[in-house]
Amino acid sequence: MGAGHIPIAMVRHPRARRYLLRLRPDGTARVTIPRGGSVAEAHRFIERNIPWLEQQLQRLAARPKHPVPWRPGSEIFFRGELVKIEVGEDGLIRLGGETVKVTDPDSDLRAAIERHLWQLAVKELPPVVIEHAARFQAPVKRITVRNQRSRWGSCSRRGTISLNWRLVQTPVFVRDYIVIHELAHLVEMNHSERFWQQVKNWCPDYRVAESWLKQHKVMLR
């Protein structure tokens, strides 16, 4: 595949320090040209990164175009276990001990259930972060729970830990690993060998959690 097969938008940014390449959700690419950069060098930069673009396009093509509907009888992950969505005689939705009120039990229940799980995550995840931060003396300044599509969590240099609400769908050991992973970034703001050693020190079985996430990621989207 050559660069000509992908629609490319080139944008100059006076504050950019280097060339940046990003694949947009619509399959087009965006190249940021830094101050003093040239279109010719931008093209060479793209050509050097064609293998990366191909990989990103394959991942984009593999994503479902529309989320699978959740209906009565559907099974979803909750706290690491597959639970069935059921409708009670009172019309309320039940799953894994949780009760969700909906207007139409026969419709796609995904939005209502996701909203409920997100609210649950907002209550449950920050105390987990605070507990682990205290154990490891990690200087957390702020905690947010977000609807991140491409990552389980993130950590800013200012000490903000952001977590994906879908962690309430994972087992406790996976949830804890993601929290610890982000806390480790407060020590090493990268994915260097020293970072992974820090993760291993705090979470010796982290590879088991990584394996669980890879195995079940399709069911968690």
Domain ranges of the chain: 3-62, 75-112, 121-220
At 118 the pLDDT is 96
At 4 the pLDDT is 46
Per-residue pLDDT of the chain (221 residues; tens, 9 = 90+): 344 457 788 889 888 889 999 887 767 788 999 999 999 999 899 889 988 888 888 887 776 666 788 999 999 999 999 999 999 888 899 999 999 998 888 889 999 999 999 999 999 999 999 999 999 999 999 999 998 877 899 999 889 999 999 999 999 999 999 999 999 999 999 889 999 999 999 999 999 999 999 888 755 65
CATH topology of domain 121-220: Zincin-like (3.30.2010)
At 94 the pLDDT is 93
Q: Which pTM was predicted? A: 0.70
Which token pair is 148? 């991140």
At 3 the pLDDT is 47
